[in-house]
Structures are given as structure tokens and as C-alpha cells.
């Protein structure tokens, strides 16, 4: 028998940690290969962790509702030699042994918000902490261990490392003690106030939003669009479409299609900030925000520029249904390059969205409302909608964003029975 480790898998792009919501096994349980071990929640998706082996659970190393880094060991299993092991995993282990040792500081330049905040509160220098995560990444447990021991575990490959640690020791004692005593912020309450515990889903959403606002310098712009022709066209065919196809033809499908066409012509908005470079994405994969009770999910319509309005409408319906029934998969959430949010469905007429990290922009589609406007020198009642764009000012400037919105406006205002096909 050999003891094997099960680690926290990476469950999506830019995902560095997850919250173990529920164990599906206990110590002593016999499990089969691929049998689910635990339910995990990240800021992207809720998923199950499958077993890589067939064997007996020997130890659970993570408590329920505990947040752990990708690559951290969550449990161990006793596995009979030669049975149930994944051959590809064994091969990967052998290849890992052959890799050259990594230099000091490699894989330590990116820290999760939790690690960064904890280290700053304790006055720790992350550059001298020995990371135990995947590829030497510094985890939350590494920081907590350094605080508890009064000095971080130091790499000895540089002569000054021990000196730095000694100089830090005295300064760290007081902050470390204070950090260990920190309690959740207390807010005064009155009779009748209701205290609602924070769920793992809400924690994940909060962490992702905070990360986006902390890292991305947001800018905002808005344009108004006359969609009278689009409204008339959609209302004319919506009933026959529902009868023929079995799902609704929503206004949102027209907006997603128009945005996809706009991104094709202005690929600058289909980019992401990568520190020392900007990565312009080839595929146009539109993330759509879907609310489900107290949760917010952002599934992806892939290659939206290649799909018809009917195809987009079908995917919107299917993804929304999966989100509300808890059936979204990791694959459904990955690969988004630009987000379109249908805030108008809640009656909003103007809003400022928080960018879906690591994308560079998000477009809020507001309510379509009838308003008097001036047309050809005369007052007319038109169906108007505001399109509100939040942008990453490191990647984008007002000029290109203004041109992009003007192009989307032009597409929408010229959507009608004569010029636009649904199929």
C-alpha cells in the first residue's frame, strides 16, 4: 500500500484558490477512481473534486468552509500498489523530478488577495517566505506559519536572506500578535436587526469584485441608442419564433450579436492586461452575467461572432437554465474575453459595471424605454436604450471605446426586417 495525495485542482482561468464546501467522504471510506470526494466553490464555479485513485481515505486535511490554494493537499488515500493509479499522473511525477530546480522568487510574483492582505497586516516580506504551493507559490498557510513562528522560512540561496529575516523578527512580533487577535469587524446593531451569515458563494463573489476594483483602474462611458426598428422587428416575429424553435427570442440576443460584431472590428476591447504586455484574444467569447438567488455566475458564449442570433438566443436560454439549476460546469465558465450584462432586465436605466477580471471591459445593457426625442426636426416617441461601458484604462482609451460604442449603436439602429436575419 502507498499513500497518495489529493490536491486542490485548478477549476478555471485565473482561479488560484477555492472553498471546500462539503466533504462527500470520511476517513476510512473506500472510494473508486473518479468518485467525487468533495464539493468546492470558487469565484467562477461550484464543482466536485473527483478521486484520482481507488483506495481508502486515510486523512482529511482541510475543514469544511476552509479556503485553500490550488495545488494544496486536501486529503490522503491509501492506495494498493499498481491498482487504480492514473498512469499519466505517474508519468507527470517522473517528468517533474527531471525538471531543473527553480530559482529563488520564481512563481512568487503573483499572490492571491488573501495572501497579500495577510502579509501586509503582519508586516511580512513575501520575498523571503518559502512557498509550499504549486511551483513554489506562497499560500495562506505559509503566511500563517510565518506569523506563528515569528520568522518566515527563508531560502538560504542568497547570503543576505538570514540577515533580512533577523532584522524583520523584532518588527514582526507585535503585528503578528495583533493579527492573531483580530476579530471580524463589529457593527452596532439594534433591536430587530437581522444578522445574515456570509455564505461561501457570497464570499467568492465579494473576493472577485474586490480583486477587480483593487487591480483594475476603471473608467466609464455611456451611449444612448434608438432601437425602435429592432423592437418592432423582434415583437413582430417573437411568437412565431417561439412556436418554431421552442425558446424565446429575447432582445438580449440582438445586443450580444451586435457586441460580437463590434469586437470583430475593434479587437482592442477583446484584450487583457498581462503586466508586461497586453494580450489580444483571437476568439470572441462573450461572458453573460446570470443571477441565481444570492449567486452570480458568468457563463460563456464561445465564438459569438460566428453564431446567428438564433444560436445566441438558444445558448442564452440554456446557460441561464443551467445556472439556476446548479448544473453549470467548469467548461461553461472558462474562456470569456468580454462581458455583456443585461441589467435592463431589472429595470435599470444607467449603471457602472465592475469588470470581470481579467477582461478589459464590461457592457451594461439597460432597459428599453419609450422617450420623446427629436427626429428630422420633429418630436417623436422612440424606444431608447443606454449602453454603459466600464473599461480597464491600462488597456483601453476613450477614443477606441467611443468608436466601438458608435459601431454597436449603428448595428442596433439598423436592425430591422429588411437588413437582419435571425438565422
- Residues marked active site are found at 393, 397
Q: Does an H or E element contain 311, and which?
A: helix 309-324
Residue 34: count of CB within 10 angstroms of its CB = 12
Q: 3-state DSSP call for residue 402?
A: helix
Q: Cα(20)–Cα(8) distance, rounded to whole angstroms?
A: 9
Q: Cα(167)–Cα(325) distance, rounded to whole angstroms?
A: 55
CA-nearest of 259, 200, 242, 192 to 415 is: 259
Please name every residue paired with 66 in a beta bridge, in sequence order, or none if there are none.
Answer: 20
How many residues are present in the chain?
423
Q: Cα(8)–Cα(403) distance, rounded to whole angstroms?
A: 43
Q: Cα(139)–Cα(151) distance, rounded to whole angstroms?
A: 16
Q: Is the CB of residue 225 less than 8 Å from the CB of residue 415?
A: no
User: What single string gives the DSSP state of each residue in 92-153?
Assistant: HHHHHHHSPPPPTTTT-S---HHHHHHHHHHT--GGGS---SGGG---HHHHHHHHHHSS--
CA-nearest of 101, 98, 160, 95 to 125 is: 160
Amino acid at each position: 500500500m502507498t499513500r497518495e495525495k489529493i490536491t486542490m485542482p485548478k477549476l478555471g482561468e485565473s482561479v488560484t484558490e477555492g472553498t471546500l464546501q462539503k466533504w462527500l467522504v470520511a476517513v476510512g471510506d473506500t472510494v473508486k477512481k473518479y468518485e467525487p470526494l468533495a464539493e468546492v466553490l470558487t469565484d467562477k464555479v461550484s464543482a466536485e473534486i473527483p478521486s484520482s485513485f481507488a483506495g481508502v481515505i486515510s486523512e482529511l486535511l482541510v475543514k469544511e468552509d476552509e479556503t485553500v490554494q490550488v495545488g494544496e493537499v486536501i486529503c490522503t488515500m491509501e492506495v494498493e500498489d499498481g491498482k487504480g493509479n492514473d498512469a499519466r499522473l505517474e508519468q507527470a511525477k517522473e517528468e517533474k523530478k527531471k525538471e531543473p530546480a527553480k530559482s529563488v522568487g520564481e512563481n512568487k510574483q503573483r499572490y492571491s488577495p488573501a495572501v497579500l492582505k495577510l502579509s501586509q497586516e503582519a508586516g511580512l516580506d513575501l520575498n523571503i517566505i518559502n512557498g509550499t504551493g504549486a511551483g513554489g507559490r506562497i499560500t495562506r498557510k505559509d503566511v500563517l506559519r510565518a506569523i506563528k513562528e515569528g520568522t518566515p522560512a527563508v531560502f538560504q540561496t542568497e547570503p543576505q536572506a538570514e540577515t533580512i529575516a533577523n532584522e524583520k523578527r523584532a518588527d514582526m512580533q507585535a503585528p503578528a500578535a495583533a493579527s492573531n487577535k483580530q476579530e471580524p469587524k463589529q457593527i452596532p446593531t439594534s433591536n430587530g436587526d437581522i444578522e445574515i451569515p456570509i455564505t461561501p458563494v457570497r464570499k467568492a463573489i465579494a473576493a472577485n469584485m474586490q480583486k477587480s476594483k483593487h487591480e483594475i483602474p476603471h473608467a466609464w462611458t455611456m451611449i444612448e441608442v434608438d432601437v425602435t426598428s429592432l423592437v418592432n422587428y423582434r415583437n413582430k416575429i417573437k411568437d412565431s419564433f417561439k412556436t418554431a424553435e421552442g425558446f424565446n427570442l429575447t432582445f438580449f440576443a440582438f445586443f450580444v450579436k451586435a457586441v460580437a460584431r463590434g469586437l470583430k472590428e475593434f479587437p482592442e476591447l477583446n484584450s487583457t492586461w498581462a503586466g508586461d504586455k497586453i494580450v489580444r484574444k483571437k476568439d470572441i467569447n462573450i461572458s453573460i452575467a446570470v443571477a441565481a438567488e444570492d449567486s452570480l455566475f458568468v457563463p460563456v458564449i464561445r465564438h459569438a461572432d460566428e453564431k446567428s442570433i438564433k444560436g445566441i438566443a438558444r445558448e442564452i436560454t440554456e446557460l441561464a437554465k443551467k445556472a439556476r439549476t446548479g448544473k453549470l460546469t467548469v467548461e461553461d465558465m472558462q474562456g470569456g474575453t468580454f462581458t455583456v450584462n443585461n441589467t435592463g432586465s431589472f429595470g435599470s436605466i444607467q449603471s457602472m459595471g465592475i469588470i470581470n477580471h481579467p477582461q478589459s471591459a464590461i457592457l451594461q445593457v439597460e432597459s428599453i424605454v419609450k422617450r420623446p426625442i427629436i427626429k428630422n426636426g420633429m418630436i417623436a416617441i422612440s424606444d431608447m436604450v443606454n449602453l454603459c461601458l466600464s473599461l480597464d484604462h491600462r488597456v483601453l482609451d476613450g477614443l477606441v471605446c467611443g468608436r466601438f460604442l458608435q459601431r454597436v449603436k449603428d448595428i442596433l439602429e439598423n436592425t430591422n426586417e429588411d437588413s437582419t436575419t435571425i438565422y
